[in-house]
Amino acid sequence: MKHFPVTRRVKSSALLPAMLLGFLTMSGCAVNPVTGQRELGFISEQREVAIGQEQYTPSQQSQGGQFSVDRGLTAYVQQVGNRLVAVSDRQLPYEFVVLNNSVPNAWALPGGKIAVNRGLLAELNNEAELAAVIGHEIVHAAARHGAQAMERGMLLQGAMVIGAVAAQGSDYADYIVGGAQLGAQLMTQRYGREAERESDAYGIQYMVDAGYDPAAAISLQETFVRLSEGQQSNWLNGLFASHPPSQERVDNNRALVAQLRAEGRAGGELGEARYQEATAFLRETKPAYDAFDEAEKLVGEDKLEDASRKLETALSMVPNEARFHGLQADILIYQRRYQAAVTTYDAAISRDPNYYDYYLGRGVAYARQGERFRANEDLQASIKLLPTALAMNELGTLALESNDRVAAKEYFGMAASAQGLVGEQSRAAFMRLDIADNPAQYVSAQAYINQAGRLVARVQNVSPLPVSDVTVEFRAIIGGQVVSRSVVVPQMAAGQGGDLDSTLSFQAGALPAAGQFSADVRGARVE
Residues that bind Zn ion (CB under 5 A): 196, 199, 243
- Report the residue number, 143 or 470, with the smaller CB distance to Zn ion: 143
Among residues 342, 324, 457, 387, which one has the least CA distance to residue 178?
A: 387
**Is residue 212 left, alpha or beta, with left meaning phi > 0 and alpha meaning psi from -120 to 50?**
beta
Burial class of residue 230 (count of CB atoms within 10 Å of its CB; 0-12, 13-18, 19+): exposed
- Report the residue number, 145 or 362, with the smaller CB distance to Zn ion: 145
How do the residues of the chain divide into helix, strand and coil, expressed in percent and rounded to 5? 55, 15, 30
- Report the residue number, 185 or 461, with the smaller CB distance to Zn ion: 185
- Report the residue number, 203 or 423, with the smaller CB distance to Zn ion: 203
Instruction: Give min distance, CB of 106 to Zn ion, in A.
Output: 9
Instruction: Give min distance, CB of 137 to Zn ion, in A.
Output: 7
| Residue 262 CB partners (closer than 8 Å, separation 6+) | none
Query: Can you tell me the distance from the alpha carbon of 350 to that of 361, in angstroms, rounded to the nearest whole number?
Result: 15
- Report the residue number, 61 or 199, with the smaller CB distance to Zn ion: 199
Instruction: Give min distance, CB of 458 to Zn ion, in A.
Output: 55
At 309, give phi and psi (nearest 5°). Answer: -65, -40
Instruction: Give min distance, CB of 100 to Zn ion, in A.
Output: 22
Q: Residue 330: enclosing H or E segment and its boundaries?
A: helix 322-334
Instruction: Give min distance, CB of 65 to Zn ion, in A.
Output: 23
Burial class of residue 453 (count of CB atoms within 10 Å of its CB; 0-12, 13-18, 19+): middle
Instruction: Give min distance, CB of 243 to Zn ion, in A.
Output: 5
- Report the residue number, 114 or 314, with the smaller CB distance to Zn ion: 114
- Report the residue number, 216 or 422, with the smaller CB distance to Zn ion: 216
- Report the residue number, 120 or 526, with the smaller CB distance to Zn ion: 120
Instruction: Give min distance, CB of 359 to Zn ion, in A.
Output: 33
Instruction: Give min distance, CB of 216 to Zn ion, in A.
Output: 16
Among residues 490, 493, 501, which one has the least CA distance to residue 445?
A: 501
Cα angle at 46 between 41 and 50, to 5 degrees? 110
